[in-house]
Amino acid sequence: PSPLHMNQEFSSGYLIGELLNKFELQEDFDQFSQSRYGRDVATPTITELLSTYSDDEYIRKVQKRLEEDTFAREQREKRRRKMLREQLIAHEAQEEAYREEQLINRLMRQSQQERRIAVQLLHVKHEKEVMWQDRIFREKQFEERRLKEFQEALDREAALAKQEKIEFEEQAHKEKQLHAKLAAQRAEERYKKHFAICWEVVDQIIDLVTKIGEYRTLTNNLIPIKIMRDWKELFLKGKPIYEQAELDPLPADPTPDQIIEFEKMDILDEKDYDEYKIMIEEWYPPEEIRANKPPPSNIILGHVVHRLMGLFYPPEPEPPPPVSSPFPIKGCILGKLFSGKTTCLKFLEEACNIHVLSIDTLIAEAIQAYHEKEMSSETSLLQVSKLDIPSMDQIFSIRAQLGGGAETLLKKGKSIPDELLVGIMVEAISRLPPEKGWILDGFPMTLNQAKLLEKALGGRDPDEEEVNAKVLKKHNLVIDPAAPKEPAVHPPGLDFVILLDVSDSIVLDRIAFGSEQERGDQVSDAELQRREKADSVRGQMQHRLVRFLETWPDLKTWYANQQNILIKVNAEMEENLMCQRVKQIIMEQLVKIENERTPRGKAQKSLSPSPEDVLPPAPIEPPPIKPGSNEWVPEFLVPYWETVEKTYVNNIKATLRCLRAEQHVIIYYLSDIRNHFKEYLKRPDHKQEFVTQWQADYNSVADDLWDDDETKEELHQRVTDLRDRLWDICENRRNEAEQERCAIMNDGWLPDRMVLLMDHIFSLMQNELDRFQDTKRLLHDYYRGMEGKIPTDSSTEFIRIPLIELVEKEQLLEAGKTMEAAKSRLELLKVKALAFMEDLHSKAEVTYRNMEKWLGERFLIEMSSVEKLTEVARNHIETSTRMQYELVLEGTEFYINGDIKVFPDAVPPPRPPSVETPTVDTLTISQLSTLHKQFLKVAPKGLMLSKTFTDIFFDLVTLNLGSNSLPDAWTHLSIYDLQSLASLLTVDVDTVDWRRFLLAAAQPWPLPSVKELLETLQRFRAVDEGRTGFVTEEEYNQAGLWFGSGSVIIPDSPIEPLPFNRQEHLLKFFFTLFADPEKDPPQLNYVDMLLYFASHPESIDGVYRALSVATETNIQREKDKFPNIPREEGGEEGEEEEDEKEKEDEAHSFASEGEISLDTLLRVFNYETNKAADNHRFTNHLVPKDNYENFIKVYKDLGSEDLQPIKVSLLLKHPFIQELVNSCQVYKLHVSIPFHGVWRLVIIRKYRML
């Protein structure tokens, strides 16, 4: 640089330094310079070819001011040098004057003249001093003026900077408003898009619902499942369900609606063909032929066909391996503008020793290489010829060629295409050393760039893979047995993709903060260029944000869902934390990649191809194919097989389409004949004319004849004649309707439809048979060709199935036994044909039956309307009144005066069910049923441990497990009360009979006498015809108990429920309580039940009652049956004694000298022990010897050595039996329930009074 230029730079720097020192901004400027240097030092410089932007007018003014200051500073420097020179001259003059003074002093001594000269010289010196002081004063004034002007300049600069800051804040605010506006527009566009999608879906739903409603009307509320599946398929595909246009005749230039209909037809054809091919849904084999279902594929045929296809259509060569070396790590960092990508990449480049590749820098380097005419030094695997770049000498390097193409497009004002950008990036990657990994800075930016990059790095085209996957889904009649079950999984070209996620508001704040700090800094030319680029980026901020928001969803789907390598990082955190987080992710990826590559490291070295291997081989002209050779076989058979496949698929689709159309025709025809018949039933008649004539004759009767009996009899006869005439009309109309129904049934439509359906089924059979025969011919020709023989055309013609000839079809099935698949499919078609015929016949039969039903209902309604008219007419005759209003008989309706319709009396509404009102201390029927179910689960046989019984009740009381399962008074029972209750119910040692508890808890119920028990037993014996000892519920209700259901008072109000009949529900509950639930249906042992009911408050009386039931005789007790029981009211004592006396007198009729066997005696006294089949701790200790030994001894003591039955009176005299009767508590009926330790006695007579 020239001295003048250096001087200008020094002056401008000096001026800015003076400004910063004056306003104390030096520290802020240093911090700002460090932050901007740390964030933007890695920002690539822009080339001369890129668009540049000049500074604004303010910068130019500042530069002009700096130039003026520089010129003024030069002038001041000249004056300063001149002043120094003058000062030096003055100093020399002063020295000279001093020497002169010394000399004068020496000379003054010599002469006076010399003294005068000295005085003059001093005077001159004084004048010079005055002049020097004046000059210094003037210089001082000039300095003050310059400082003042400099201060004014600084003030102007500060005001301009402040104004610029305000303007920038306003600009930032406008940018935020613009961003908010654009965001609102994007949100509105998304809303409109989603609204359009939702509206389309809702429109399709409405169409589907409307179509369903229409078909429910057409099919009498029975929509075929096949049609519903078709509608569902069209609905899911987004196609309209209603027909948009006619396709018959087929147009040469279809309209858009016709194109939609073609697409709908193709969708349904594909769906029907897939179902038919794999035999599902409608074509699923029925149970009788499911065992003969054909195999899913023929391995031999699949091998032959795919071998021929492989020879005829050679597979494409494997794609070349990736052009890049196996780098340790490969990735990219994406994000919005100012999200921190450059800062993170600079940190990673220094911390992890990773190459950072920026597309802007690479474009600039490529263009520079083009300008420098960089020569090619190595062979590259990139095919530059495929890119749209200008032709140039091949001696140029790939980078230079790519740079030339980019420069040409930029000069034309066009954007660089994705292929060229990816080519520049891949070429730069290929030049990197394999020891270090690399990370892309903000690239790729679109989905197309990501796919091109994947193709370049991974050697596979994602779009071609999708196309190939769709091609593989085409209709193939055979499956390649050697094909892999799952496609090969290729690793992605990149190891990871990091997204620095940041909100738009943070981006805008960062842009504003960065621009504010850059103002007023003293920077170099490079920093000025960087700032110019940053300003240009800020100008493109909105465009780049919108571009990122538009392209990112596709990139996110690609990297997150398809490649699964996307990692999100929150970029709104602090800069250091974000960099450390990204570094942690990179290190984790390095460890993961190292672990994956370790087992196959050696293999990868040997598999890396050379450039020569990648180059395609030179095309060689194949020799002509010789007939009979191996090459000739596929040339002949592959087109034949393709024709077979295409013909088979097209014919099957066409036939299935005809079946689908036939189903719609059937539905519409049946609906039409139903509607036609309904309209026919509503045809007009002439009944009203006769009614009008009769009414006119009736009203014309003279007034004095209305009360005459003969006149009334005549009028009644006329009414009868009118009724008969009207009935004749109704009968004739019914006969005519029946003839119309028979005409519809005999019009020949049903046989024609059945013939058409059979023709379609035969077409399917013919297609299957043709496929079998074609397959057979293919295999025959294939094996002949493999033997070197020329396939000969078979002289036999293909077998054809004639239409509507079922006998020949059966013969064909026998002839086709050589192919199991063909047989099974023909058998399936045969079964389906029969099913179709049955379905069609059943639909027609249902329609004809409905027509008959409508005919009968119409006839009955018309007859009913005639009866209504007859009743009205007879009522007027009996009341002797004229008919003031016209009687109208329209079809099935009868009106008075034209608008008053006659209805029969309404049926009263049913009464609401009766509900049992819970009481304080009595269990309701529902509570008893709940307890019964719970006890039945725990102890099905009837016995449980007393502890278990206590625990169940304690849980119900304390833990509220059985809400509303107990009366309110029972909820306050303590554990002591429950233990006391369990001790009363204890049967044997420590077991409780829960059935006896429920029987006592069900009180009040009428306590039976011995006579009632015996009569009940006789009724059960009568209904038990098989003498099994068990009755069903029906037989139980037939026999009944000693008490009935009783009677209830019916309320006057029809909406008031009936009173709850507890006795009726008790009868049902007792059957449930004592029946055996393990039997189906449940059966009741009535003797065991009556033994339960033989219980009595006095245990001894209970034993005698049980003996009476067991022996079916009345066994009397010598002393009074009932002991003195405290009574609540003295007046009731006499009544109770009288009732008991009457029952004792009645019981004498059953008294006899009965005998009792040992088994019966054991059943009475050992009843509970024999029934103790539940698991408890005493079950294993009960042995038959303990039960029988004492009773056998009693019988032997009484003279029955062979254990024959003995008299009861004799048995009761034995001491052991007497002691047993006195001590037995099994038949004691407990009539008291504990409440808070107080026993409330419930006298049994209260229950007997019921």
Tens-place pLDDT, residues 841-887: 888 999 999 999 999 998 998 888 888 889 888 988 888 888 888 88
Q: What is the pLDDT of residue 1182?
A: 37
What is the distance between the alpha carbons of residues 512 and 169, in angstroms, rounded to a whole number? 8
What is residue 812's predicted lDDT score, i.e. its pLDDT? Answer: 35
CA dist 694 → 721, 872, 887 (Å):
10, 13, 10
Looking at residue 822, what is its pLDDT?
76
List helix spans (H) across 219-279.
225-237, 256-278
- Which pLDDT score is estimated for 533? 58
> Cα separation of 488 and 493, whole Å?
15
Centroid of chain to Cα 475: 31
CA distance 114 to 107: 6
Which residues partner with 1083 through β-bridges?
A: 1076
Highest mean pLDDT among 485-489, 656-660, 1095-1099, 1165-1169 belongs to 656-660
Of 391, 456, 461, which is closest to residue 427 (Cα–Cα)?
456
If you average pLDDT over residues 418-425, what whole number do you get?
A: 90
Q: Is pLDDT above 60 for 50?
A: no
989/568: higher pLDDT: 568
The mean pLDDT of 737-741, rounded to a whole number, is: 93
User: Is the pLDDT at 380 greater than 50, yes or no?
Assistant: no
Least confident of 186-190, 502-506, 727-731, 1175-1179: 1175-1179
- For residue 1182, give every residue at least 6 positions away whose Cβ sits within 8 Å of its Cβ, in sequence order, or none: 1169, 1172
- Choose the weakest-confidence range: 486-500, 721-735, 789-803, 825-839: 789-803
| pLDDT(171) > 70 | yes
Average pLDDT over residues 825-829: 83
- The lowest-confidence range among 377-386, 393-402, 403-412, 1086-1095 is 377-386
Residue 901: band (very low, low, confident or very high) from pLDDT cuts 50, 70, 90: low
Nearest Cα to Cα of residue 66 among 157, 161, 175, 189: 157
Residue 19 has pLDDT above 60, yes or no: no
**In the structure, what pLDDT confidence band is assigned to residue 1160 with cuts at 50, 70 and 90?**
confident
**If you average pLDDT over residues 812-816, what whole number do you get?**
34
Say which residue the tokens 């009911």 belong to.
1093
* Mean pLDDT calculated for residue range 1226-1244: 50
**Is the pLDDT reported for residue 322 higher than 80?**
no
Average pLDDT over residues 1093-1099: 85
Tens of pLDDT along 267-313? Answer: 999 999 988 888 888 888 887 777 666 666 677 787 888 788 877 77
State the pLDDT confidence band at 100, using cuts at 50, 70 and 90.
confident
The tens digit of pLDDT for each residue in 234-245 reads 988 888 888 877
Lowest mean pLDDT among 498-507, 896-905, 1025-1034, 1087-1096: 896-905
Q: How far apart are CA 497 and CA 338, in angstroms?
A: 18
399-413, 789-803, 982-996: lowest mean pLDDT where? 789-803
pLDDT at 539: 60
Residue 1226 is predicted with a pLDDT of 79
Q: For residue 530, what pLDDT is reported?
A: 57
Output the pLDDT for position 131: 92
Percent of the chain with pLDDT over 70: 74
pLDDT surpasses 80 at 328: yes
The reported pLDDT for the residue numbered 574 is: 87
pLDDT above 80 (res 1036): yes
Task: Please state which of the ranges 136-150, 238-252, 513-527, 617-631 shows the lowest mean pLDDT.
Answer: 617-631
Q: Residue 787 corresponds to which amino acid?
A: E
- 178 close to 632: Cβ distance less than 8 angstroms: no
Residue with tokens 């303007």: 167
Position with higher pLDDT, 1023 vs 508: 1023
Nearest by Cα to 1039 from 1078, 1000, 1013, 1007? 1013
Sign of the torsion formed by the C-alpha atoms of 1091, 1094, 1095 and 1100: negative
Continuous segment of H or E residues that includes residue 894:
strand 893-896
Please determine, for residue 739, whether its predicted confidence score (pLDDT) is greater than 90: yes
Q: Rounded to an integer, what distance in angstroms lies between the CA atom of residue 972 and that of residue 465?
A: 78
pLDDT at 151: 92
| Predicted confidence band of residue 597 (pLDDT cuts 50, 70, 90) | low
Q: Name residue, tokens 């309707």.
A: 737
Give the CA-trace dihedral at 1064, 1068, 1071, 1074, to 10 degrees.
-90
Please identify which residue in the block is written with the tokens 């930016």: 445
Maximum average pLDDT range among 278-292, 317-331, 656-670 = 656-670
Cβ–Cβ under 8 Å, residues 504 and 179: yes
Q: What is the pLDDT of residue 141?
A: 92
Torsion sign across C-alpha atoms 230, 231, 232, 233: positive
Please compute the mean of the pLDDT values over residues 1114-1127 and round it to a whole number.
55
Are the C-beta atoms of 405 and 389 separated by less than 8 Å? yes
175-206: buried (b, 16+ CB within 10 Å) or exposed (e) per residue?
A: bbeebeebeeeeeeeeeeeeeeeeeeeeebee
| Residues contacting 818, CB < 8 A, separation 6+ | 776
pLDDT tens for 193-217 read 899 999 988 988 998 889 888 888 8
pLDDT at position 1249 is 35
pLDDT (0 to 100) of residue 1169? 42
Q: Using 50, 70 and 90 to split pLDDT, how confident is the model at 1188? A: low
Are the C-beta atoms of 360 and 47 separated by less than 8 Å?
Answer: no
- Residue % of the chain over a pLDDT of 90: 12
896 DSSP β-pair partners: 887, 900
For residues 609 and 352, the answer to whether their CB atoms sit within 8 Å is no
Spatial strand order of the sheet with 1030-1031 comes to 1030-1031, 1083-1085, 1075-1076
What pLDDT was estimated at residue 894? Answer: 76
- Of 219-228, 274-283, 803-812, 897-906, the range with the lowest mean pLDDT is 803-812
Give me the long-range contacts of 280-287 (CB less than 8 A, separation at least 24): 281/226, 281/229, 282/226, 282/832, 283/828, 283/832, 285/824, 285/828, 285/831, 286/831, 286/835
Rounded Cα distance, 147 and 179, in Å: 47
Count Cβ neighbours within 10 Å for each residue of 300-336 and write b for 16 or more, e otherwise. ebbebbbebbeebeeeeeeebebbbeebbbbbbbbbb
Cα separation, 493 vs 326, whole angstroms: 11
pLDDT at 451 over 80: yes
What mean pLDDT do residues 523-534 have?
A: 57
Q: How many Å apart are CA 1177 and CA 945, to the nearest integer?
A: 9
Reply yes or no on whether the pLDDT at 837 is more than 50. Answer: yes
Encode pLDDT of 603-660 as tens digits: 443 334 443 343 444 444 455 555 445 556 677 788 888 888 889 999 999 999 999 9
Residues 754, 795 contacting (CB under 8 angstroms): no
pTM given for the model: 0.56
The pLDDT, as a whole number, for residue 514 is: 59
The stretch 894-905 carries a mean pLDDT of: 65
Q: What is the pLDDT of residue 897?
A: 65
Lowest mean pLDDT among 474-488, 862-876, 1204-1218: 474-488
The beta strands (E) that lie in 524-602 are given as 566-570
pLDDT of 1178 higher than 70: no
Task: State the chain's mean pLDDT as an integer.
Answer: 76
Res 728: pLDDT: 92
